């Protein structure tokens, strides 16, 4: 039987995943003109003309969210068919960051596609998640939750260039805030599992 702490902890993980994904597709760069509002999912191609050297890092939050989703759900679901369905959903989340069709095989998107391929492999490997000690699972969640940091680093470097283009200071969109909250919840959940696995050692199946 699931304890209240187990239900709360798994709920925390899934809420964090949902917020991370919703926030990624929300505006990171706000503007009163809708055409100039840029979502997290648009940053990798929107930053292309600005010469940002590592703009493929903007896709890491979505890749991390897809892997965390599968890593978490695999410990929650027992039926084999449902577990393979989770893998498919995790890969679909990652594929949402695929470049537009006419640019997908362009050399400038090669590193982004490599990151997506690695993410897909990690999603498949989550089929072994139920065998992991809960402490190890928690450490993996922490590492994946930190996947937001490279994107934030690129965003901090990119924001002044956008401000210059827009001829004025720009704020931070609600999408970025929601995405950060989601990854913060995942970080808390991972730390709790890594530091004190006895609280959540029993799988909620």
Summarised one tens digit per residue, pLDDT across range 138-193 is 999 999 999 899 999 999 988 888 888 777 767 889 999 999 999 999 999 999 88
* Residues 203, 205: Cα–Cα separation, whole Å: 6
List beta partners, residue 27: 39
- pLDDT of 69: 94
Is residue 204 situated within a structural domain?
no
Total domains, the chain: 1
Is residue 205 situated within a structural domain?
no
Is residue 21 situated within a structural domain?
yes
Q: What is the pLDDT of residues 33-61, one digit of tens each?
A: 776 788 999 888 888 888 787 888 999 99
User: What domain range is 20 assigned to?
Assistant: 4-199
Is residue 173 situated within a structural domain?
yes
Task: State pTM to two decimals.
Answer: 0.88
List beta partners, residue 39: 27
Cβ–Cβ contacts within 10 Å for residue 123, how many?
Answer: 26
* Residues 55, 157: Cα–Cα separation, whole Å: 10
Is residue 81 situated within a structural domain?
yes
């Amino acid at each position: 039987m699931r304890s209240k702490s187990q239900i709360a902890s798994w709920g925390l993980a899934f809420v964090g995943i949902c917020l991370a994904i919703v926030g990624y597709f929300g505006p990171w760069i706000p503007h009163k003109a809708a055409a100039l509002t840029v979502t997290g999912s648009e940053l990798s191609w929107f930053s292309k003309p600005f010469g940002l050297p590592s703009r493929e890092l903007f896709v890491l939050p979505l890749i991390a969210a897809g892997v965390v989703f599968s890593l978490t759900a695999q410990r929650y679901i027992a039926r084999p068919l449902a577990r393979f369905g989770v893998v498919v959903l995790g890969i679909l989340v990652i594929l949402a960051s695929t470049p537009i069709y006419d640019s997908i095989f362009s050399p400038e998107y090669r590193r982004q596609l490599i990151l997506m391929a690695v993410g897909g492999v990690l999603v498949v490997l989550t089929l072994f998640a139920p065998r992991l000690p809960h402490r190890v699972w928690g450490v993996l969640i922490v590492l994946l939750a930190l996947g937001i940091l490279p994107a934030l680093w690129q965003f901090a470097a990119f924001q002044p260039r956008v401000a210059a283009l827009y001829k004025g200071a720009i704020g931070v969109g609600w999408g970025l805030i929601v995405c950060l909250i989601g990854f913060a919840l995942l970080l808390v959940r991972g730390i709790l599992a890594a530091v004190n696995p006895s609280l959540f050692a029993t799988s909620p199946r």
